[in-house]
């Protein structure tokens, strides 16, 4: 074992990777260390400093140029899924370090499912209803619930996830409208929805759900000005990226009652700190970034990692090279 290469996997918070593929050959080819808790600063460096291969689960562990420069033994960088927003690809390329990824699995489908779990859970006040039943109660004044049928669903983004969310909204009898920076009436009509301005979407939608990729042009897209346009009975849902919303503005807007509620699966810092004020806001329904946390997805991640490591250590072509 002394001369075997070192492989470090960072961010397996669910302790899932070992469960979903056969690691027996990998265990013979390398010394493997899997970290199942968040690491940063010097602790992160110490975990990776002797690694020949570093593998990142999603974009949970930032790997910037400064840290990459401190990893002289690094020969291969890999991440799960098809995209990583916290990786300095240029720094790796400058050193000629190849980058691999894995299949993403049905992550778009699972995120669409979670979006609707949040919409239904928040709009039907399910947490309160469950607490009421567990405490021996029955219906109360909070049990007179709104319906989604006949209401407007506003989607900010109409990619694969937004389109899947739209289909369910239509099935529920909602009017679905959409906006994105490059939306056209023709694209919207192809999904049986209607394109409107962002202001109209915010002003008129009972539910607003975000489905854009976060980038320089969309960071902070939803701030105080946009939140103030929303209906006082509206629900804002974000299963995309936290950077799309100015979170300080959202907390202030919720205090003012416009929108009435928000349901969030993504956060600026993950895991969300225990003392974060978001945890104690009764107008928020929160889930711990579950959009992609599903068995078929982690199976794709796990099998992608093992097949890549087996190929790499036997001098075969890696199956899933990343092309920036």
Contact 138, 132 (CB under 8 A): yes
289 catalytic, yes or no?
Answer: yes
Contact 214, 238 (CB under 8 A): no
Beta strands in the chain (DSSP E): 6-10, 31-35, 53-56, 76-79, 99-100, 152-156, 175-179, 194-195, 207-210, 235-238, 261-264, 284-286
Asked whether 206 and 233 are in contact (CB, 8 A), the reply is yes
The secondary element (H helix, E strand) that includes residue 254 is helix 247-256
Which candidate in 60, 151, 241, 303 is catalytic? 241
Catalytic-labelled residue, pool 270, 303, 310, 323: 270
Q: How many CB atoms lie within 10 A of CB 124?
A: 15
Catalytically annotated residue among 231, 289, 303, 310: 289
What is the full DSSP assignment across 55-95? EESTTSS-B-HHHHHT-TT--EEEESSS--TTB-HHHHHHT
| 270 tagged catalytic | yes
Torsion-angle region of 195 (φ positive above 0: left; ψ -120 to 50: alpha; else: beta): beta
Active site residues: 241, 270, 289
């Amino acid at each position: 074992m002394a001369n075997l290469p070192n492989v470090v996997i960072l961010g397996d918070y669910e302790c899932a990777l070992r469960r979903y593929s056969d690691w027996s050959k990998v265990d013979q080819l390398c010394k493997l260390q899997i970290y199942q808790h968040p690491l940063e600063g010097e602790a992160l460096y110490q975990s990776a400093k002797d690694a020949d291969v570093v593998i990142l689960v999603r974009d949970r562990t930032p790997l910037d140029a400064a840290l990459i420069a401190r990893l002289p033994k690094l020969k291969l960088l890999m991440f799960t899924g098809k995209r990583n927003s916290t990786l300095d690809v240029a720094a790796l390329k400058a050193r000629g370090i190849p980058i691999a990824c894995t299949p993403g699995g049905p992550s778009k489908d699972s995120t669409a499912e979670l979006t609707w779990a949040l919409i239904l859970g928040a709009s039907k006040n399910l947490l309160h209803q469950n607490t009421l039943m567990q405490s021996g109660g029955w219906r109360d004044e909070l049990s007179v619930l709104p319906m989604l049928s006949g209401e407007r669903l506003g989607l900010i983004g109409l990619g694969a996830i937004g389109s899947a969310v739209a289909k369910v909204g239509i099935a529920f009898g909602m009017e679905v409208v959409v906006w994105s920076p490059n939306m056209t009436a023709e694209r919207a009509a192809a999904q049986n929805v209607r394109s409107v301005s962002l202001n109209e979407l915010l002003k008129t939608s009972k539910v607003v759900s975000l489905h854009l990729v976060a980038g320089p042009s969309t960071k902070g897209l939803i701030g105080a000005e946009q939140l103030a346009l929303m209906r006082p009975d509206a629900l804002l849902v974000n299963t995309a990226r936290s950077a799309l919303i100015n979170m300080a503005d959202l907390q202030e807007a919720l205090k003012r009652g416009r929108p009435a509620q928000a349901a969030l699966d993504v956060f600026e810092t993950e895991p969300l700190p225990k003392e974060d004020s978001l945890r104690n806001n009764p107008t928020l329904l929160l889930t711990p970034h579950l959009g992609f946390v599903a068995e078929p997805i982690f199976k794709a991640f796990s099998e992608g990692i093992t097949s890549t490591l087996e190929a790499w250590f036997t001098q075969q072509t890696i199956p899933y090279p990343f092309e920036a």
